[in-house]
Copies of this chain bind each other. A is one copy, B any other.
């Protein structure tokens, strides 16, 4: 993978164009840089040898046209490069290496496609048993970081429901830095979540950490959360992609926006397009906040993809005092919703107490967030 690709410069970010590619050529200082036109991408670059003839070039062009493809010529000081545009399969079968005068061919790496707004211009609305996420709706997911007990959970569920949330969040399987940390109540926790969600009328969002648990999770949850640490656990992505369950895909701690969209492409390419992105802060040098909440990622996802995106300011900042202002900011930036940690008694929380809101603060948050949404003309 070239530096350009890795750094996201090959993403389809400039309108209809989709990428660039550097092609080092032996024995010379020539480096090609590709430009892509409109919605079509060059799928293959053919580098002609310096000793190739005009006849060689014409045969190459002929073959391309025969296959129903187009070409774009770039003529350098001592070399000619042919960019081939068109249907991917047709190009894959071109087999140009054997042609006289062809030094080498280079395939342009494919990038995310099905998740892109180019592919589908209108907003996707994910329907979670009747509750809509995306398309201007405001989806609020709230609850404790980890499920600790039925009492704690019911208290949290009642309070977040009363304040207007539609989803109950809570972890039953907790991926923790240390093997000795509390790892969650597992299936018992899932049962509690389902019970509490049903009791008060909230959809249930919870994290899946093991592809082999997928049956179990589908039994109890309404939305499967893929945590930041698993954003590039491609086996898990494929596994949830094979279901039709709504998936909440958190951004990895050091994932570029491009990698995040590609992670979603793993899910959607398996057939599941019920994907909700969740920005939850990235790792930077700043230590005042637990992570650096990147709200420009909300605007970026809205530009690049048709899928909804929500924001988790609790993990994003790690400080409960910041959850309110960053929730307002997230909605103002265009987020489709929020995921908020609410704990009836944060001071006794088994994990992440510092970043959990008390019920009364959550009510204030809901009120302020709705005012921002109204000012923006949203539902």
- Chain A positions within 8 Å of B, measured between CB atoms, are 1-9, 11, 13-17, 20, 22, 24, 26, 28-39, 72-78, 104, 109-113, 175-181, 209-212, 229-230, 232-235, 238, 253-254, 256-259, 262, 265-266, 269, 282-290, 292-300, 302-303, 316-318, 321-322, 325-326, 328-334, 347-348, 351-352, 354, 368, 371-372, 374-376
- The residues of B that contact A333 with a CB separation of less than 8 Å are 325-326, 328-329, 332
- The residues of B that contact A33 with a CB separation of less than 8 Å are 20, 33-35
Partner of A209, one of B2, B36, B234, B322: B234
Apart from the given pairs A109-B178, A254-B283, A257-B288, 5 other A-B contacts in the complex at a CB distance below 8 Å: A9-B9, A14-B29, A256-B286, A329-B330, A371-B375
Partner of A284, one of B14, B292, B300, B372: B292
- The residues of B that contact A316 with a CB separation of less than 8 Å are 296
Partner of A77, one of B38, B282, B302, B372: B38
C-alpha gap A109/B176 in the complex (Å): 11
A40 to chain B, nearest CB (A): 9
Partner of A3, one of B109, B258, B290, B298: B290
**A177 near B259 (CB under 8 angstroms)?**
yes
C-alpha gap A16/B30 in the complex (Å): 8
**B289 near A296 (CB under 8 angstroms)?**
yes
C-alpha gap A32/B257 in the complex (Å): 23
A226 to chain B, nearest CB (A): 12
A378 to chain B, nearest CB (A): 12
- The residues of B that contact A176 with a CB separation of less than 8 Å are 234
C-alpha gap A296/B178 in the complex (Å): 23
Q: A22-B14, A181-B110, A329-B332 are in contact. Are A293 and B290 (CB under 8 A)?
A: no
Q: A26-B347, A29-B16, A77-B37 are in contact. Are A352 and B1 (CB under 8 A)?
A: yes
A295 to chain B, nearest CB (A): 5
- The residues of B that contact A177 with a CB separation of less than 8 Å are 1, 5-6, 232, 258-259, 262
- The residues of B that contact A73 with a CB separation of less than 8 Å are 75
- The residues of B that contact A209 with a CB separation of less than 8 Å are 234-235
Q: For A1, A294, A371, which residue has the most chain B Cβ atoms within 10 angstroms?
A: A1
C-alpha gap A185/B103 in the complex (Å): 26
A273 to chain B, nearest CB (A): 14
List 20 interface pairs A-B (beta carbons < 8 Å), by A numbering. Answer: A1-B177, A1-B351, A20-B20, A32-B35, A74-B75, A104-B347, A177-B232, A177-B262, A210-B235, A229-B232, A230-B233, A257-B286, A286-B294, A289-B296, A293-B295, A293-B296, A300-B322, A328-B376, A372-B372, A372-B375
